[in-house]
A and B are shown apart, each in its own frame.
Chain A
Amino acid sequence: MDFSLNEEQHMLQESISRLLATECPLSDIRELVNSDGNNLSEVQQKIADSGIAGILIPEDLGGVGLTLLDAALIAETLGHAVAPVPFIASSVMAPIALLEAGGDEQKEKWLPQIASGAVVFGAGVTEQIGNREDRGITENTDGLNGTAMFVLDGMSADMLIIADDSGCMHLVDSQASGVSRQKLKTIDRTRSVAEVTLEGVAAEPLPGSRSNGEPLRKTVDAGRVILAADTLGAAQNMLDKSIAYAKERKQFNRVIGSFQAVKHMCSEMVAELEPCRSLVWYTAYADASIPDEARMMACHAKAHLSEVGQFVARTATEVHGGMGVTDLLGLHYWFKRIGFNRQLLGAPELVREEAAQAQGWI
């Protein structure tokens, strides 16, 4: 019985933290997002070189062969640094989709390229979670047609994994004829989301997902765990910044952290957030080791981190007073990252309902 991270996992988080601190400090992130965020390739390559792109890909296919827990720890680190790195789709959802449902040739072709950073994948599954504006992709005789909204990491991706309205997932080359992409501006400019329209695009299905919804559900589960972990990291950073600010900022000849009103806001954030760390660890561990609970836990982690993340984002901003809402301080990058994570792959009420289904309550 050991409910803790091992030495390698601590080192993994530390090394990525250090890399991000040098490669994308907030000053660089500001510049990137203000230049519309399209020249990310240098940072992305360095991140890929660190091995995280292939974290879930087996070693014989060029990856590192680690578990979703390790991927979640990376996501936590990325969220902590509000890193503009396409991780969730390319390094988690696409590899899981390929591993769960891909044919041998597909796996052998794409997984090594994902691991090396040569190819970046996007993932479009939103319509299979909650369809808006009657969008979605249909497979017809002439191929794939329709619109997938909120395709994660979709603008910078070379390849896309797109779910059709039957739950079957397809590989789509983002440069293929009939594919058009439009960037969707979101509150969080550290991540890229695209609206992808397909008109008669030749389909290349992942055969294991034909008439079998399970691979898609596993792909979504993993995405949800990653979003929860990203929020954990982002919220922890906001909390740390609040504590530091409360120790330094003076009013009425006192540091504001000595006022109980402010002190209690900090303690409440700790009381809500610290147990979330254990929730995320357990959930990510359950993916490989407690499969019976994996889906229920993924839903709970996603929904609960969304709730606690929202509370911390708001409270941390208030601890910073007027500066909290300014671009000068930049706290809003974390605020928006947490907001983005909350809405994607199912907002809390919807995901909790899935947790009820996973437990057989309904």
Chain B
Amino acid sequence: MDLSYSPEHESFRNEVRAFLAANGDAAPTGTIYRTQTKEDLAWQKLLIEHGYAARTIPKEYGGYGAETDILKSYIIADEFARQRVRPGHSGDFRLVPTLLELGTEEQKQQYIAPTVSGEMTWCQGYSEPGAGSDLASLSTKAVVDGDDFVINGQKIWTSGAHYADMIFCLVRTEPDAPKHQGISYLLFPMSTPGIEIRPLVNMTGDATFSEVFFTDVRVPTSQIVGARGEGWFVANATLKHERGGLGDPNQAEERFHSILELMKEEKIDGVRLIDQPIYRDRLLKLQARILSMKFNGMRILSSSIKGDDPGLAAWVVKLQGCELNHQMAAMAIDILGEIGILYDDSPHLRDGGFWQYSYMLDLGLIIGGGTAQIQKNMIGERALGLPKEPKPSESV
């Protein structure tokens, strides 16, 4: 255990701080998940030039081209979060690593640079109405006709479908193969004829994801990543990246500080909430969990730097991180009492209604990207080596 930083990393941190002090005000606000504005694109360009976005993506594909230094990447993320400046991105965090690993040279040339710059945005076409936790049973089919795949079927929970330029999509191309071996991974524009998008309004009242319908959508066969029938393995490369992205301990810590601030300001019968032992105890319980996950994250980071397997520490992040975020929102609502039911643009809202919105949105995040129950299966089966549930056909 030595939590100090080397002089090289200390000075790197100072560089990032100096950059943020000089340029932080130019950062756009609001979500990064939208059609990129001129300001979004300019900010991303500036960050790439300084190596604070797309840091390890090769220069020839529009990145900064630095050697991998996990600690420097962590320092960048940490400093942006501390200064509450919107960070950049590395293109789509699921697609770009997949293309770098498994794409053809032509695909890399065509897609990575515009994705990294933010000019080309993507959505993910994986889940279907009949294929959620059991994703490999997906049935959207693609049949070869001449030089094209002809796609028919439906996707659901497609985040960003309404603004994305492109989709990376799993389709069944080998209907007679076993389910994991009959899937292919295709890339195509969302403007292709035959695609219909119907936004799905979730319980927050917003539509962050959509249903996407495909009717005789023609996509050139060259738009496949990996070989026919290998799509499941290509997709697993990206699912790995998605799991890493959910349940970020920095975000949890930031939320915790917001609740603490709220409890110092908010009063019932003239007494600050922080001075009420019952509320305080609940906050302290949460704090211990948040700290545990923060240190768990540091342990994972340390393992990654050394190239060691972080083991169980990494398996629990999605499950615990998403649950914690939800519990914090739940607590904030509880301490607000009646004010906790106000919504939209009601008067008397606290924090702009963030907690009510998050309580509902975060429940979706507990379910999305592998439900909590699927996470528990994975911990049990893959990490602890407990046997899988026997298949019904095997257990007559």
CB within 8 Å of B: which residues of A?
1-6, 69, 243, 246-247, 254-255, 257-260, 263-264, 266-268, 270-271, 274-279, 281-282, 285, 289-290, 297, 300, 303-304, 307, 349, 352-353, 355-356, 361-362
Contact = CB atoms under 8 A, between A and B. Distances in A.
Contacts of A274: 296, 312-313, 315-316
Contacts of A356: 280, 284
A270 B387 contact: no
A349 B280 CA distance: 10
B186 to A, nearest CB: 34
Contacts of B389: 258-260
A5 B260 CA distance: 33
B299 A3 contact: yes
A243 B293 CA distance: 23
Given A275-B295, A285-B1, 8 more contacts: A3-B3, A260-B376, A263-B380, A271-B379, A274-B296, A274-B313, A300-B284, A362-B280
Among B1, B295, B395, find the residue whose CB has the most chain A CB atoms closer than 10 A.
Answer: B1
B386 A1 contact: no
Nearest to A239: B384
Given A258-B386, A362-B280, A2 B1 contact: yes
A304 B316 CA distance: 17
Given A1-B3, A263-B381, A362-B274, A258 B281 contact: no
Contact of B288 (A69, A254, A278, A303): A303
A1 B2 contact: yes
A3 B1 contact: yes
Contacts of A278: 292, 295-296, 298-299, 313
Among A5, A246, A275, A276, find the residue whose CB has the most chain B CB atoms closer than 10 A.
Answer: A275
A237 B387 CA distance: 21
A342 to B, nearest CB: 14
B390 A266 contact: no
Interface residues of B, number: 54
B358 interface: no
A132 B202 CA distance: 54
Contacts of A266: 379-380, 384, 386
B296 A1 contact: no
Contacts of A263: 376-377, 380-381, 386
Given A1-B9, A247-B386, A267-B384, A275 B1 contact: no
Interface of B: 1-6, 9, 71, 260, 274-275, 277, 280-281, 284-285, 287-289, 291-293, 295-296, 298-299, 301-303, 305-306, 308, 312-313, 315-316, 319-320, 373, 375-377, 379-381, 383-390, 395
A277 B274 CA distance: 29
Contact of A352 (B1, B285, B291, B306): B285
A247 to B, nearest CB: 6
Nearest to A247: B386
Contacts of B71: 1
Nearest to B293: A275
Contact of A270 (B3, B280, B315, B381): B315
A295 B376 CA distance: 34
29 contacts: A1-B2, A1-B4, A2-B1, A4-B302, A243-B386, A247-B387, A254-B390, A255-B387, A258-B390, A260-B389, A263-B377, A263-B380, A264-B376, A267-B376, A267-B379, A267-B384, A270-B383, A271-B320, A274-B313, A275-B313, A277-B299, A278-B292, A281-B1, A285-B3, A303-B284, A304-B285, A352-B284, A361-B280, A362-B274
Contacts of A304: 285, 288-289, 292
A113 B277 CA distance: 45
Contact of B287 (A5, A258, A275, A300): A300
Contacts of A300: 284, 287-288, 291
Nearest to A2: B2
B374 to A, nearest CB: 11
A353 B388 CA distance: 44
Nearest to A6: B1
Contacts of A352: 281, 284-285, 288
A285 B289 CA distance: 18
A247 B384 CA distance: 10
B212 to A, nearest CB: 31
Contacts of B375: 267
A259 B385 CA distance: 13
Contacts of A279: 288, 291-292, 295
Contact of B292 (A257, A260, A276): A276
B387 A4 contact: no
A258 B389 CA distance: 5
A4 B380 contact: no
A291 to B, nearest CB: 13
Contacts of B386: 243, 246-247, 257-258, 263, 266
B295 A281 contact: yes
B281 A4 contact: no
B319 A271 contact: yes
A328 B239 CA distance: 46
Contact of B388 (A258, A268, A307): A258
A181 to B, nearest CB: 36
Contacts of B260: 361
B1 A5 contact: yes
Among B260, B301, B373, B384, find the residue whose CB has the most chain A CB atoms closer than 10 A.
Answer: B384
